[in-house]
Chain A
């Protein structure tokens, strides 16, 4: 059976990154990536979204030329890793997941070191300035906070003056303020026509940052498009979430007959209704609750998010292990 194919590129735009039929099998057994096609245009920010172990890191490391795929083709800026490794390295900026840079060098020394590998790097003071690392320029890397370390990791990628930025879970484990700082940095890079490929398991990050994204699960793309397209593909664009004081076991069947309800799921005593029109559903919901003699302890309504897309597609949450 042929996998569904998602049209992820516009034909008249050039691709910064493309791959076809990407597969990676470790030790002849574990299939980390199972046939993956991507086409990422120059100047866009593309996200690979998926839970841990979905194959995001394997995919991005193949695209970075750090892993060889078991089969499939990769083209970066129209070149292949086999033929043009040295040129490609000059044009890519990479931030790996969990690299621990040398703790005994200062921030400035670290950036100078990475800049020295490139033929025409950015100036180190400009990068320090742009990533708000100026004050910490002469601090040892070992003394930095988590957010500062992560900014430095991105700085080592930007100092080479790259055309494409690869970021593997750039904000994992960071506090909200540090995350927003990194998002700003990524947007600035994109505004200068840089292409970004990032992996994340944060929904909000993917929704805010990415022009387009692919949801990956078990080494395959299960959905792709712009964040709003993906949400639009959901049956029901709104979510009504509520809880009752007495948990009713067979309630799922009860709620699905309410007007406008597309799907129902319950979790930890809470019910999630995907609905087209909340103003039709909610009055009906309230009257059913009253008939049953139950009392609402929680009721909210919100726009459907990527999280809902993922749950609908897989029946699991993104952050579940």
Chain B
């Protein structure tokens, strides 16, 4: 093809030109993205503050209380003092608090939940009034009966010993924090990439960018890198919070946690990009993002173990990317597992991220 000589460059009056290197565009795209995120108060709240509030709230609600005291009522009659005597002599005397009350008052307060059990000893023997639907009521019946029988001279043929399990590492907060971390990586990956990209498309900013010599790969790379930077902060904040406030112990290596975190951040970024590949409006993509994330909030063991779901759906649950991420994070953080030992989960996560990214590239619309 014949080349026409290009006209002289009209330079801006009295300006000197600069020469940009290969990575100037990428650096500025990443810098711009981080500045935009930092200047968006909602982002700071949802990415950094919200997970901590959630951890704090749930951690307090499900904290391990000192050994529970069972509060029971004893119906005031001629045998009441015998009941109290037996309880005083039993080993469980510190764990059971008993009030002697008139039958009516006792039953009323039992119904209101003040007492877990009502004990009445009349001529025909011991009567327990308990509610099988209330776990503490069932427990109180067994506990009190045990105490009374033992104090009356029953021998236990089997010797038993019990150890309390409320050490750091086995509490609800320990289960919760890695799950919140996984969920947070999913949320911020989906919103941080998916929503942001559609918003830029709606503003015609994507179109304006591809009208410049910007490399499209640099753009995607910068979006992905911004996720990695945020991931570092998210991991540091949540684990630091768990360690400081709830004395959580991190068993595995920090490097393994960061590697899994990075893979999670990038994979969910890829899924976010796929979700955003065609949508023209932020309303559309918001719906899509919630649709994609909803099953994982429920099934992937964020707040409670997915073992509660029927056996038959377990393989499907384990194939979800968030399940793989949560399981890997829990294994490393709580049990000190190595990165290598989590290979199968890492592969599941990588496949989700990789396939999503490739499909996104294929379908992606810049305009």
Q: Contact residues of A with B, CB < 8 Å? A: 14-16, 42-43, 64-66, 77-80, 83, 86, 89-92, 94, 96, 98-102, 104-105, 109, 112-123, 126-127, 130, 140, 156, 158, 160-163, 188-189, 192-195
Contacts and interface: CB of A to CB of B under 8 A. Distances in A.
A100 B6 contact: no
B349 to A, nearest CB: 31
Contacts of A121: 17-18, 20
A104 B211 contact: no
Give the interface centre of B8, B17, B36, B210 by most chain A CB atoms within 10 Å: B17
Interface string B5-41: 1111111111111111000110111011001100110
Given A96-B204, A105-B35, A119 B7 contact: no
A118 B18 CA distance: 9
B205 A109 contact: no
Nearest to A75: B4
B211 A161 contact: no
B212 interface: yes
Given A14-B7, A96-B207, A109-B35, A118 B12 contact: no
B203 interface: yes
B310 interface: no
B7 A102 contact: no
The SS class assigned to the A binding surface is: loop
Contact of B211 (A79, A89, A158): A89
Given A66-B367, A161-B17, A104 B6 contact: no
Given A16-B7, A83-B1, A99 B203 contact: yes
8 contacts: A66-B210, A78-B3, A90-B213, A101-B203, A117-B214, A119-B213, A160-B212, A162-B10
B213 to A, nearest CB: 4
A182 B104 CA distance: 89
A163 B9 contact: yes
Given A89-B212, A193-B7, 13 more contacts: A14-B5, A14-B7, A66-B211, A79-B1, A83-B1, A98-B204, A100-B205, A105-B32, A116-B28, A118-B213, A127-B12, A162-B10, A163-B7
Nearest to B219: A117
A90 B213 CA distance: 6
A16 B10 CA distance: 14
A123 B18 contact: yes
A230 B17 CA distance: 40
Nearest to B2: A78
B63 interface: no
Contacts of B13: 126, 130, 188, 192
B208 interface: yes
B36 A78 contact: no
B325 to A, nearest CB: 30
B213 A104 contact: no
Contact of A161 (B9, B31, B36): B9
B22 to A, nearest CB: 10
A119 B20 contact: yes
A117 B26 CA distance: 8
A19 to B, nearest CB: 15
Contacts of B40: 104
B200 to A, nearest CB: 8
Contacts of A90: 213
B11 A116 contact: no
A128 B19 CA distance: 18
